[in-house]
Amino acid sequence: MEPKKKNAMAVTLVLGILGVSLLIASFATDNWVTSSPVLQRSTQTPGNDTDGSATKYTGNITFGLFRGHRVLDYGIGPRPQDINVVCSGSDGVCAWSNSSDSAKRADYIKRVVKFVNINKTNGTVKDLIEYGLFNFGLWVSTIVMLALGIVWGLVSLGFTAFNVVGKPIETITGPAGLYLWNGLACTFSLLGALLFVGLFTKDLSSNVLPKDDVEVGWVSKDRTKLDYSFYFVVGAVLSFIASNVILLVSGQKLSCSYNRAGEKELDNGMILY
Ligand SMILES: *[C@@H]1O[C@H](CO)[C@@H](O)[C@H](O)[C@H]1NC(C)=O
Ligand SMILES: *[C@@H]1O[C@H](CO)[C@@H](O)[C@H](O)[C@H]1NC(C)=O
């Protein structure tokens, strides 16, 4: 391989490592979403709700794909708690639970779904979201897509390393294959990011608080945003795209031509082994 192409391949390798690292970091960090809810006591003490900023209690919530942390001030000082995701596949919903009791956590979704079905005539998805539930399918498919992004990213890394140090001759292991592996890593990461944006805009941006807090008067609507763990995925997508652009610019053939150089390398290979 020409030095120019070899250098491009090395850059591709670095970008691939960056992409996979960012995807892993997005799983490992719990800052996908940040929210700063407020306690609006309008239902409890009518009269001093909207303008009395001194009586306004606030909180902070951050979470990742599986767990998170929250600090809410109910008026008796900040109360830190860990939160965990709980899901009910049969109901098609997940929720963030601040209960440290796993039996209570498991029961939580059933309780909310039952409450909405009984107490809201024609309980809708919107009612469920109001009580802190979110779409199970979108959540699971986000995780699956990102996991596949990591898998294809690792495959791409493996073959890129092989192309840098080795003398690949077969198409799928050679430079042409790299477009495919990179492309797959990019596509799945992008799908993961888009699914999460869907989940965020549809459900999470409306409410991230559990039923008990909603009933007391906590509100997180318009106070929730995507945070850096999510942007790690965006960074990974860009890395995989940059990888392919560099391969293309450096003149790696997209098509799989079986040329003379390949034959020669094959001969060398036969002599060597
Ligand atoms: C939430 O975060 C803000 C900004 O970092 C901080 O001023 C506030 O005190 C925090 N609230 C609680 C309840 O910890
Ligand atoms: C329905 O609402 C009433 C009053 O708000 C409450 O007492 C009852 O427990 C609720 N039902 C369920 C299933 O939660």
Q: Give the model's pLDDT for residue 13.
A: 92
- If one residue of 34, 56, 60, 62 were mutated to test the ligand 1 pocket, choosing by the most ligand atoms within 8 A of its CB, it would be 60
37 Cβ neighbours under 8 A, 6+ residues apart: 58, 59, 61, 72, 208, 209, 213, 218, 219, 220, 223
How many domains are there within the chain? 1
Q: Which token pair is 14?
A: 């670095």
**204: nearest Cα among 23, 29, 35:** 35
Tell me what pLDDT residue 162 has: 84
Q: In which domain, by residue range, is 195 found?
A: 3-272
What's the pLDDT score for residue 76? Answer: 85
What is the pLDDT at residue 273?
41
Pocket test for ligand 1, best of 58, 62, 227 (most atoms within 8 A of CB): 58
81 lines ligand 1 (CB under 6 A): no
Residue ranges of the chain whose pLDDT lies below 50: 43-49, 51-54, 257-273
Name which residue sits closest to atom 4 of ligand 2, judged by CA. 119
Q: What is the Å distance from ligand 1's center to 58 Cα?
A: 7
Give the model's pLDDT for residue 244. Answer: 92
- End-to-end CA gap in the chain: 20
Note the pTM of the prediction, 2 decimals.
Answer: 0.84
Which pLDDT value is given to residue 49?
Answer: 46
Q: What pLDDT, in 10s, does the model give residues 174-226?
A: 777 889 999 999 999 999 999 999 999 999 999 999 888 998 889 999 999 99
> What pLDDT, on a 0 to 100 scale, did the predictor assign at position 53?
44
Tell me which DSSP letter residue 203 carries. Answer: I
* C-alpha to C-alpha distance for 15 and 10, rounded to whole angstroms: 9
- Residue with the smallest CA separation from ligand 1 atom 5 is 60
State if residue 119 touches ligand 2 by the CB under 6 angstroms criterion: yes
71 lines ligand 1 (CB under 6 A): yes
